[in-house]
Amino acid sequence: MSAAAPLPEPGYNFAYLDEGTKRMIRRAILKAIAIPGYQVPFASREMPMPYGWGTGGVQVTAAVLGRSDVLKVIDQGADDTTNAVSIRRFFGRTAGVATTTHTSEATLIQTRHRIPETPLSEGQILVYQVPIPEPLRFLEPRETETRQLHALAEYGLMHVKLYEDIARHGHIATTYAYPVEVAGRYVMDPSPTPKFDNPKMDGCPALQLFGAGREKRIYAVPPHTRVRSLDFEDHPFRIQSFDRPCALCGAEAVYLDEVVLDDRGGRMFVCSDTDHCEGRRAEGHTGEMAE
Amino acid sequence: MALRAGFRDPVHAAQAVFRAAMDALSRPACIQALAPALTPPEPLTAELAGLALALCDADTPIWLDAPLAAVPEVAAYLRFHTGAPLVAAAGEAAFALIADPAACPDFVAFAQGTPDYPDGSATLILAVDHLTDRRGLAFSGPGIRDLAYLEAAPLPADWSARLAANHALFPRGLDILLVAPGRIAGLPRSARLREAAEA
Amino acid sequence: MYVAAKGGEAAIDNAHRLLAEMRRGDPAVPDLSVAQIREQMRLLVDRVMTEGSLHDPDLAALALKQARGDVVEAVFLVRAYRTTLPRFGASEPVETGAMTVSRRVSATFKDLPGGQVLGPTFDYTHRLIDFALAAGELPEPAAETEPGPDAGHCPRVTDILGEAGLLEPSPPEAGAPVGDLTREPVDYPADRAVRLQALARGDEGFVLALGYSTQRGYGRTHPFVGEIRYGEVELEMVPEELGFPVPLGRVPMTECQMLNQFRGSGAAPPQFTRGYGLVFGQCERKAMAMALVDRALRAAELGEAVSAPAQDQEFVLAHCDSLQATGFVEHLKLPHYVDFQAELELVRRLRAAHEAAISSAGEPVREAAE
């Protein structure tokens, strides 16, 4: 589904933000790109939506967006979740840009918690909404300390934490927001995407931008950049796997949502990426519970 | 003398210039189109002026190289359209506009950022006559799939050594934008200079 | 056939229409006017203006009406509006010594120039529900007092004490630009001006609880209320093109100066130190709590050990903002099923391993798998 551009709301600047704010955010984005994985502080504005609901991603999108862009917004992989609908509508109203649900048609995709299954291509931009940008935050709550650790590339704490998991559980027990090392230097939080999506970041041809509004940080991964999930030689990084295909489109090796069908233990597993699932079904693929 | 005009459509023109700069820095040594519709006072080029108008304001001190600083109309134009303070000390600048790239001051003259705040470094914008990504110095690093090539002129004789030293400072270091009529290419600090090669 | 729940635009629009209807309540009851809120819910309006960092009683009253009386939501509306306003410049520091006081009390001196002025206060009211208010009775007119001989001259207690060197001097007005955390990200350690800005904008409940904690020993500061004053101050600004201050208008504010006993350190002599609070309107509780926390946050500067939450500026500044707090707490109601799925899979796997370990004939659970 694609929607043509309606006229932007009168009384607002294009994409809501004033030009001074856009310039400030744009400068932060340029520095973020030049220092992959480093969190650039920026003067995040108070947006007309709550902190924690995508204000960072929205500000990055607003600063980057142009008239000819085609915007896709997803939350949990889906285009039709309420917050995705709300953010897409915000840009429809304030920027009047064309929107789409098709990953391949979008020039800019704002996301919360997922990377689309359809591989991204050269020239696309993926904007992540980030709640806690600091990968070391839960090991060291102080900004003054974590800043030092990043400056010294001192990431021993993180390795100790991951290794403690191994000692206790036999494997690393971090399933989402799994830390990555970018271009051999900064350790970065990939936002709370499932670790299933981490490999998609590595060498991705699209530009990846991360916006954390409440925490006032912007960071970036340029295209074709090495993104390595932290691991150990004897415990290599592994992604989740599902022991069944999507019940609707039959896709394998995709991330699935578990849907509760009744209160007697009935379950089905379906693609979390709704566009990918619909595309496959349109091509005639079916799963066991397709009608 | 009447002041030359700025962007006719400031919102969308600034966005287009920014996107070109963003593409240039996220794909180092890969030329992007950049054609701001501006006729600034010489020797300020349309590309230099476009980037300044799109990115600079009261929060970003600008340093001008000797040929630009010698023309009062250039300073007046930039002050009026950006509101940015023009600074005489290169080390205080967030952006440096350079019309005579062969005479570009040594990189150490500019803010390099600190280990805690590497983003505090300057961005250099050099207007060159010749710019191609078909051959020239070879680069690798973030934003580059294998190798990328960039040739620009005129530039200081020790340009390669400067770029290598700049990259060695990573994550500190300068970010460089090279502009020529209608074009822009970026050499962020992350770009690693390989041995010079012909493509 | 399974159909995923869709949160379409129609659902959102319907929810918002329902909200509007609930906001209005019973249409048989007269609609509440913005003027009524502004005049009769004055302290609520003051709080929304203080935490919203915008002095506009009508706007704050409208925000309260729109927010159905939810203070944090009203502050949110005011803040989001404030961000879009153009900035013409910064005012001169307000001269609170020249305040036209409606209320002024000092706990440190029995009497002082300008006198003690009780003014409009809940203090010494007996908290008995006044059923006459429900009947809509008009109050008795307040007593008129003859202005005293020194009316209009209310020197600040801190200026009186300061002359004898018993109180640390006011920080010098360096003339350096004052930071603004709404325009630049906070860089730790933050200077006092930025800390005061954060506290003034901070949630009253949070700042109050932190101030209280210092009184109970978590970063004790030995406070005395040097003075609380409430009244109108003149706001002035120096336009670039004029070069001299011009009045912008008068704004009601509450200022609290706490005096804190201080035994001195290597560098500073024994003297009283200050904690400072300044808010729009009559947010007296907030001004006092702010002054307590301000003083606690000066621990490092005064050579005191930093051990309590109220002394920890990263802790205080990062958590005092009600919008940041409410946004992040409430974001938990957004869908998280992708991450929950990842955790579900992990917990199932861990449980399977746990059960396998237990069932393997009483063998102890391995500490590490490999």
Q: Which residues of B touch A (CB under 8 A)?
A: 10-12, 14-16, 18-19, 21-22, 25-27, 54-57, 59-60, 94, 114-119, 121, 123, 141-145, 170-171, 175, 188-190
The whole-number pLDDT of residue A248 equals: 95
Query: Shortest CB distance from A214 goes to which of C186, C324, C336?
Result: C324
Statement: residue C230 has pLDDT above 50 = yes
Residues in Cβ contact with C173 at an 8 Å cutoff, skipping those fewer than 6 apart:
C93
Statement: residue C361 has pLDDT above 80 = no
pLDDT digits (tens, 9 = 90+) for B125-156: 999 999 999 999 999 999 999 999 999 999 99
Give the integer Cα–Cα distance in Å for B120 and B116: 9
The whole-number pLDDT of residue A3 equals: 60
CATH class of C29-83: mainly alpha
Identify which of A92, A42, A47 has the alpha carbon closest to the alpha carbon of residue A71: A92
Residue numbers of the domain that contains A273 = 241-291
Closest Cα in chain A, distance from residue B82 (Å): 10
The whole-number pLDDT of residue C367 equals: 45
A105 and A47 part of one domain: yes
pLDDT digits (tens, 9 = 90+) for C332-351: 999 999 999 999 988 998 89
In a domain, A118, yes or no: yes
Q: Name the residue in chain C with its Cα closest to that of A89.
A: C9
Q: What is the mean pLDDT of residues A179-188?
A: 98
A190 and A53 part of one domain: yes
The whole-number pLDDT of residue C159 equals: 83
Q: Which residues on A lie below 8 Å from B17 (Cβ)?
A: none
The whole-number pLDDT of residue B1 equals: 56
Query: Shortest CB distance from B14 goes to which of A19, A30, A34?
Result: A19
Query: Shortest CB distance from A175 goes to which of C314, C326, C342?
Result: C342
Q: How many domains does chain A have?
A: 2
Q: What is the mean pLDDT of residues C184-203?
A: 95
Tell me if chain C has a CB within 8 Å of the CB of A172: no
In a domain, A149, yes or no: no
Q: Which residues on A lie below 8 Å from B59 (Cβ)?
A: 24
For chain C, the chains sharing at least 3 beta-carbon pairs closer than 8 angstroms are A
Statement: residue C9 has pLDDT above 90 = no
Q: Which of A202, A229, A256 is the last residue of a domain?
A: A229
Q: Which of A247-256, C99-108, C155-164, C282-291 has the lowest mean pLDDT?
A: C155-164
The whole-number pLDDT of residue C363 equals: 53
Share of chain C above pLDDT 90, in %: 61
- CB half-sphere exposure, B18, CA atoms < 13 A: 28
Q: Which of B13-17, B145-149, C154-158, C315-319 has the lowest mean pLDDT?
A: C154-158
pLDDT confidence bin for A287, thresholds 50/70/90: very high
Closest Cα in chain B, distance from residue A50 (Å): 26
Statement: residue B172 has pLDDT above 70 = yes
- CB half-sphere exposure, C248, CA atoms < 13 A: 16
Higher pLDDT, C146 or A274: A274
Q: The complex's ipTM?
A: 0.97
The whole-number pLDDT of residue B19 equals: 98
Q: Which residues on C lie below 8 Å from A194 (Cβ)?
A: 338-339, 341-342
The whole-number pLDDT of residue C114 equals: 84
A109 and A250 part of one domain: no
Statement: residue C173 has pLDDT above 80 = no
What pairs with residue B180 in β-bridges?
B183
In a domain, A259, yes or no: yes
pLDDT digits (tens, 9 = 90+) for C46-82: 999 999 999 999 999 999 999 999 999 999 999 999 9
Q: Which of B45-49, B88-92, C141-145 has the lowest mean pLDDT?
A: C141-145
Give the integer Cα–Cα distance in Å for C111 and C119: 16
A98 and A201 part of one domain: yes
Statement: residue B118 has pLDDT above 90 = yes
Tell me if chain B has a CB within 8 Å of the CB of A20: yes
Statement: residue A224 has pLDDT above 80 = yes
Beta strand ranges found along C152-267 (DSSP E): 223-237, 246-262
What pairs with residue A210 in β-bridges?
A128, A219
The one catalytic residue in A54, A92, A211, A277 is A277
CA angle C219, C224, C225 (to 5 degrees): 120
The whole-number pLDDT of residue A5 equals: 54
Q: What is the mean pLDDT of residues B189-195?
A: 93
What is the distance, to the nearest Å, from the Cα of residue B179 to the centroid of all Cα atoms in its chain? 7
Q: What is the mean pLDDT of residues C176-196?
A: 90
Q: What is the DSSP string of A78-141?
A: BSSSHHHHHHHHHHHHHH--EEES-GGG-SEEEEES---SSPP-TT-EEEEE-S---TTTTT--
Strands A70-75 and C223-237: unpaired
Mutate to test the interface with B, among A17, A35, A201 (most CBs of B within 10 A): A35
Q: Do C334 and A51 touch (CB under 8 A)?
A: no
The one catalytic residue in A57, A77, A213, A246 is A246
Tell me if chain B has a CB within 8 Å of the CB of A102: no
A265 and A191 part of one domain: no
Q: What is the DSSP string of B147-190?
A: -EEEEEES--TTHHHHHHHHHHTTTS--EEEEEETTEEEEE-TT
Q: Name the residue in chain B with its Cα closest to that of A63.
A: B15
Tell me if chain C has a CB within 8 Å of the CB of A20: no
pLDDT confidence bin for C321, thresholds 50/70/90: very high
Q: Do B190 and A34 touch (CB under 8 A)?
A: yes
Q: Do A183 and B60 touch (CB under 8 A)?
A: no
Query: Shortest CB distance from A53 goes to which of C80, C314, C327?
Result: C327
Query: Shortest CB distance from A26 goes to which of B18, B59, B115?
Result: B18
Q: Which residues on A lie below 8 Å from C185 (Cβ)?
A: 41-44, 216
Task: Mark whether A37 is an active-site residue.
Answer: yes
The whole-number pLDDT of residue C152 equals: 61
Task: Mark whether A271 is an active-site residue.
Answer: yes
A212 and A123 part of one domain: yes
Closest Cα in chain A, distance from residue C172 (Å): 27
Alpha helices in C170-312 (DSSP H): 192-201, 204-215, 284-297
Statement: residue C370 has pLDDT above 50 = no
In a domain, A155, yes or no: no
pLDDT confidence bin for C171, thresholds 50/70/90: confident
Statement: residue A2 has pLDDT above 70 = no
Q: What is the mean pLDDT of residues A131-139?
A: 95
Q: What is the mean pLDDT of residues B159-186?
A: 97
What is the distance, to the nearest Å, from the Cα of residue A145 to the centroid of all Cα atoms in its chain? 26
Q: Which residues on A lie below 8 Å from C318 (Cβ)?
A: 143
Strands A40-41 and A108-112: unpaired
Q: What is the mean pLDDT of residues B102-119?
A: 98
Statement: residue C160 has pLDDT above 50 = yes
Higher pLDDT, C102 or C170: C102
Average pLDDT over all residues of chain A: 93
Q: What is the mean pLDDT of residues A166-185?
A: 92
Q: Which residues on C lie below 8 Å from A270 (Cβ)?
A: 2, 4
Provide the residue type at B7 as one letter. F
Mutate to test the interface with C, among A53, A175, A215 (most CBs of C within 10 A): A175
Statement: residue C3 has pLDDT above 50 = no
The whole-number pLDDT of residue B197 equals: 46
pLDDT confidence bin for A4, thresholds 50/70/90: low
Q: What is the mean pLDDT of residues B79-90?
A: 96
pLDDT confidence bin for B3, thresholds 50/70/90: confident
The whole-number pLDDT of residue C262 equals: 80
Alpha helices in B31-109 (DSSP H): 46-55, 66-69, 72-82
Q: Is the dihedral of CA A224, A226, A228, A232 positive or negative?
A: positive
pLDDT digits (tens, 9 = 90+) for A44-97: 999 999 999 999 999 999 999 999 999 999 999 999 988 999 999 999 889 999
Q: Which of A17-31, A144-158, B146-160, B183-197 has the lowest mean pLDDT?
A: B183-197
Statement: residue C10 has pLDDT above 90 = no
Domain ranges, ordered by start, for chain C: 29-83, 96-126+151-170+179-326, 335-370
pLDDT confidence bin for C236, thresholds 50/70/90: very high
Query: Shortest CB distance from B119 goes to which of A13, A31, A182?
Result: A31
A198 and A78 part of one domain: yes
Closest Cα in chain A, distance from residue C259 (Å): 30
> What is the residue whose two structure tokens read 């990200």?
C185
Q: What is the mean pLDDT of residues C79-103?
A: 89
Give the integer Cα–Cα distance in Å for A101 and A25: 26
pLDDT digits (tens, 9 = 90+) for B20-61: 999 999 999 999 999 999 999 999 999 999 999 999 999 999
Give the integer Cα–Cα distance in Å for A288 and B6: 62
Give the integer Cα–Cα distance in Å for A88 and A72: 7
pLDDT confidence bin for C369, thresholds 50/70/90: very low
For chain A, the chains sharing at least 3 beta-carbon pairs closer than 8 angstroms are B, C
Cis peptide before C245 (omega within 30 of 0): no
Q: How many CB pairs under 8 A join A and B?
A: 105
Average pLDDT over all residues of chain C: 89
pLDDT confidence bin for A106, thresholds 50/70/90: very high
Task: Mark whether A249 is an active-site residue.
Answer: yes
Statement: residue C4 has pLDDT above 60 = no
The whole-number pLDDT of residue C53 equals: 96
Give the CA radius of gyration of chain B: 16
The whole-number pLDDT of residue C150 equals: 55
Closest Cα in chain C, distance from residue A114 (Å): 8
> Token digits for B55?
């990115």
Tell me if chain C has a CB within 8 Å of the CB of A82: yes
Instruction: Give the CATH number, domain containing residue A41.
Output: 3.40.50.11310
Tell me if chain C has a CB within 8 Å of the CB of A276: no
Task: Mark whether A277 is an active-site residue.
Answer: yes
Q: Do C342 and A176 touch (CB under 8 A)?
A: yes
Q: Name the residue in chain C with its Cα closest to that of A147.
A: C188
A125 and A265 part of one domain: no
> What is the residue whose two structure tokens read 């003398």?
B1
Closest Cα in chain C, distance from residue A52 (Å): 5
Q: Do A34 and B175 touch (CB under 8 A)?
A: yes
Choices 3.40.50.720, 3.30.1240.10, 3.40.1670.10, 3.40.50.11310: CATH for B10-193: 3.40.50.11310
pLDDT digits (tens, 9 = 90+) for C254-276: 999 999 988 777 777 788 899 99
